Structure 1
Amino acid sequence: MKVGLFFGSFNPIHVGHLIIANIAYESMGLDEVWFVVSPQNPLKKNKNLLHEFDRYDLVQAAVADDFRFRASDIEFNLPKPSYTIDTLTVLSEEYKQHDFSLIIGSDNLVALPKWKNYQKILEHFKLIVYPRPNAKDSELLTHDRVDMIDAPEIDISATLIRKMLREGQSIKYLVPELVLERILAKGLFTE
């Protein structure tokens, strides 16, 4: 099975993530896309990060009605911070029958040389890259294991969504309806 892995803090997951996952699925002939909820990104500060189980719950709600998508909490049981190469190694051992690709933004492609063992990632996994607003060009775009997909540059950010929630503004249409219901029911992101 061809599986696209979409890593992120998903703080919270929003329609931009789902649009990118859909386009990656359709354009790359994937069988599934797994949203891998990262407890802690080693390149980002942990400030304003909702508890990992709440973020995972929101991702599950977002993908619940789509057989192509799945939420993954694989990194919850791995040492923190989470390094992509370590997660990929565990997934490859656990699911030998799957062919994994990484779905990343063009901004992350530029930062890839800062990732732990990034050469091993390029050696063993395909990268499905989607455009990000204001991202610089990367020399890796011409790498034979990197595929740039034709997707819109979506400038919806979880930061904006959290700010709107704190200010009591509606985030309708920025997140799936079920995600909105859970955020409001639990009063998430309001502090």
Structure 2
Amino acid sequence: MRIGLYGGSFNPAHAGHRHVTRTALRRLRLDRVWWLVTPGNPLKDVRALAPLDERCVQARAVADDPRIVVTGFEARIGARYTRETLRYLGDRRPGIRFVWIMGADSLASFHRWKGFAEIMRLMPIAVIDRPGFTMSPLSARTARMFSEARIPEAEAGALASHPPPAWVFLHGPRSPLSSTLVRARHRDRDRGAAKHDDFSGGSG
């Protein structure tokens, strides 16, 4: 079994997440991708974070694919950092070939993650191209540190079988969507609805 792990706040999940996932399923020849809906990202402000159960329900509706499994199990095992999750899965599912999946924007700041070098050595990593991040992440600190571990894009289908450290950068069609953009659109829509209500009038 070859399973991709795609972690994030999914606040909210959107079509861009599904696009990245389906790209990974096809290009990496994966059997499943697990969406790991995190309790909270230590590098981000969690004050605007929707409840975990709510984000999981919404993510399942967006995923709409039997190959995508949505789980919030990190909260149950008390994992705060990615390396804790990967250690847990590696110890308990030694027969599964896991691949960590992330967007190119995450690679640009990956050196800020707790134990980023250990993560690189725990399992293979696939980096999916994102608008505005096609070139800059490849000169990022992590990319330079592990430059010799990068495999050719043409060999992406074999990534799950590579002993870590091993990573690949996948180019291709990119989705401009982000959770930040989706939340902003929702706020604008809600403001518009509020203004409509204010001016809709009525004799009372």
Q: Normalising to structure 2: TM-score of the pair?
A: 0.75
CA 86–168 in structure 1, closer or farther in 2 if over 3 Å, else same: same
What is the match of residue 67 of structure 1?
66
Of residues 177, 181, 184, the one that matches 1:160 is: 181
Work out whether residues 108 and 137 of structure 2, in 8 Å CA contact, stay in contact via their aligned partners in 1. yes
Give the CA deviation at 1:157. Answer: 1.8
Alignment check: 8 A CA contact 2:86 2:122 kept: no
Distance in 2, matches of 1:58 and 1:17, equals: 12
> Which is richer in helix?
2
Specify which of 90, 100, 103 is matched with residue 102 of structure 1.
100
RMSD: 1.7
Aligned sequence identity (%): 31
CA distance in 1 between counterparts of 2:169 and 2:137 reads: 12
The range that moved more, 139-148 or 123-132, is: 139-148
Asked whether the 8 Å contact 2:37–2:52 carries over to 1, the reply is yes
Deviations 1:59-91 (A, max 9, x none): 12223x4221101112112436x2100011112
Tell me if structure 2 keeps the 8 A contact 1:74–1:87.
no
Answer whether contact 1:20 1:151 (CA < 8 A) is retained.
Answer: no
Letter in 1 for 2:66: F
Change beyond 3 A, Cα 1:85–1:58: same
**Within 5 Å, which residues of 2 pair with 1:5-154?**
5-63=5-63, 65-79=64-78, 82-135=80-133, 136-139=136-139, 140=143, 142=147, 143-144=149-150, 145-154=166-175
Q: Whose Rg is larger? A: 2
Letter in 1 for 2:107: L
- What one-letter code is carried by the residue in structure 1 that aligns with 2:186? L
Which whole-Å CA distance do the structure 2 matches of 1:148 and 1:156 have between them? 19
Matched letter for residue 86 of structure 2? L
Question: Structure 1 length as normaliser, TM-score?
Answer: 0.80
What amino acid is aligned across from residue 177 of structure 2 in structure 1? I
1:151: how far off? 2.8
Structure 1: gaps (5+ residues): 170-191
Cα distance in 2, alignment partners of residues 110 and 158 from structure 1: 18
Q: Contact 1:7–1:37 at 8 Å: present in 2 too?
A: yes
User: Which portions of structure 1, spanning 4 or more consecutive aligned residues, are displaced by more than 4 angstroms?
Assistant: none
Shift of 1:168: 2.6
1:33 Cα shift?
A: 0.5
Looking at structure 2, the residues matched to 164 and 119 of structure 1 have their Cα atoms a distance apart, in angstroms, of 36
Equivalent position of 1:178 in the other structure: none
